[in-house]
Amino acid sequence: MKNIGILTSGGDSPGMNAAIRAAVRTSVYHDLDVFGIRRGYQGMIEGDIFRMQTTDVSNIIQRGGTILKTARSKEFMTDAGMQKAYEQLQKHNIEALVLIGGDGTFRGAAHFFEKYTIPAVGIPGTIDKDLVGTDFTIGFDTAVNTAVEAIDKIRDTAEAHDRLFVVEVMGRDAGYIALYSGIACGAEDILIPEQHTDINAVLDRIDFDERRKKTVHIIVVSEHDDFGGAKEVKDSITARFPLLDVRACLLGHIQRGGSPSQADRVLASRLGFAAVNALVTGITQVMAGVINDKVVFTPFVEIVKDGSYVNKDMLEMIRVLSS
């Protein structure tokens, strides 16, 4: 193996640049030529590929986003798209790949490598923390800290005006950002897609708090909760408590950006280093992750989104600590 390609795919997450940096520098250490593939699988299809040096990754460890850009490619999921991607890899003599992304990235990889035998190792880059095979994903810690900082500021104005705020955080089908940020901020309620939301129970808790003169109430809701987002929750509260001052706040994409936290920089560096070393030693078609502070490798076909690991004890803890 002489040449290695690196790409970022799917949604961006803070720490992707740190992973790119580690993968590039580890490759150079092993005397490999490194090629960056811009815009993920779509860039692979279009041949948006360039040679990288260690200087290309200088001063990027602290930057959010990804210097390789990212995209989601429907074309790559077709036979014709995969054929084009393979031809571009052959054209550039790329013999192995490091893939940084989430579940969609690894699903695409599993399909691609069923047809074409190119060694590849994945790195979990997603703010959702929803993949089997690793305790944490790159970007999750930063996204949670961003949400915590925002919710703390919202609580300040909630206290000043005796308002109830419903704060919506990202997470698509996973409630980890809502769960961790809500606990860290002392939220009175946390609504996540992994657990059915009984809106009447939520309203009853608000009624109880109102009767005991608790004037500040923060509800953190994951964007794809089964009841709905912040607006739907706010409308239900207003319908039952028309005199209550209720506001909805969507944190949105601020959670994706920003300088990665120390935890995300270290995790990304460990996994970028491990991914290249795995390829060098013949380990392939796997995602590198960290479980119990040890690097582990999980086959692409086993990398799925799974919400079953949400700790139900944490949900019970919320009820106790918010009372």
| Catalytic positions | 128
Give phi and psi for 114, each to the nearest 5: -70, -30
Provide the edge-to-edge strand list for the sheet that holds 3-8.
49-52, 33-37, 3-8, 96-101, 120-124, 286-291, 294-299
Q: How far apart are the first and last CA of the chain?
A: 60
Nearest to 167 by CA among 139, 186, 142, 140: 186
C-alpha distances (whole Å) from 239 to each of 188, 221, 246, 276 are 19, 18, 11, 56
How many CB atoms sit inside 10 A of residue 180's CB?
22
Residue 133 tokens, joined: 């095979």
Residue 51 and residue 297 in contact, taking contact as beta carbons nearer than 8 Å: no
Give phi and psi for 211, each to the nearest 5: -70, -25
* Residue 248 DSSP SS3: strand
Residue 148 tokens, joined: 């915590």
Q: How far is CA 188 from the centre of its chain?
A: 25
Amino acid at 25: R
Residue ranges with strand state E in the chain: 3-8, 33-37, 49-52, 96-101, 120-124, 164-169, 189-191, 217-222, 246-250, 286-291, 294-299
